[in-house]
Amino acid sequence: MINKSILVGRLGADPTVRYTNDGKMITSFDLATSEKWKDEEHTEWHKCVTFGKLAEICGNYLKKGALIYFEGRSQTRSWEDKEGVKRYTTEVVGVTMKMLERKQSGEQGQDNYDPDVPF
């Protein structure tokens, strides 16, 4: 059986960084993918999470609007909220991430995308 997700899209916000009790980094972020047909566009949002070294790379280098290739496996998990209601979420647990845009020469700290254009 195969459980593999491949996404190419843009981050909706800077990654959220947190740490496990033993100090390992976890990052999570929402990734937008879109498809167009005729005059319509549909955007799908994907919850993504990374652990370990990949989490460190994502936490240090990814910013809102960044265009990335993201590969991983789909996972659904559950928890109980403060009121005792069981909640579920499905996310892509990353194993590979590639940044698809580079900073242009002469720019410091600015990526070569327009933050007002989401895709």
Does the pLDDT value for residue 93 go beyond 80?
yes
Cβ-in-10-Å burial (0-12, 13-18, 19+) of 17 comes to middle
* pLDDT tens digits for range 58-85: 999 999 999 999 999 999 999 999 999 9
Domain 5-99, CATH class in plain words: mainly beta
What are the two backbone dihedrals, phi and then psi, of residue 40, each rounded to the nearest 5 degrees? -115, 150
The residue ranges of every structural domain in the chain are: 5-99
What are the two backbone dihedrals, phi and then psi, of residue 102, each rounded to the nearest 5 degrees? -120, 155
* pLDDT tens digits for range 37-50: 888 999 999 999 99
pTM score, two decimals? Answer: 0.79
Give the mean pLDDT of 19-46. Answer: 94
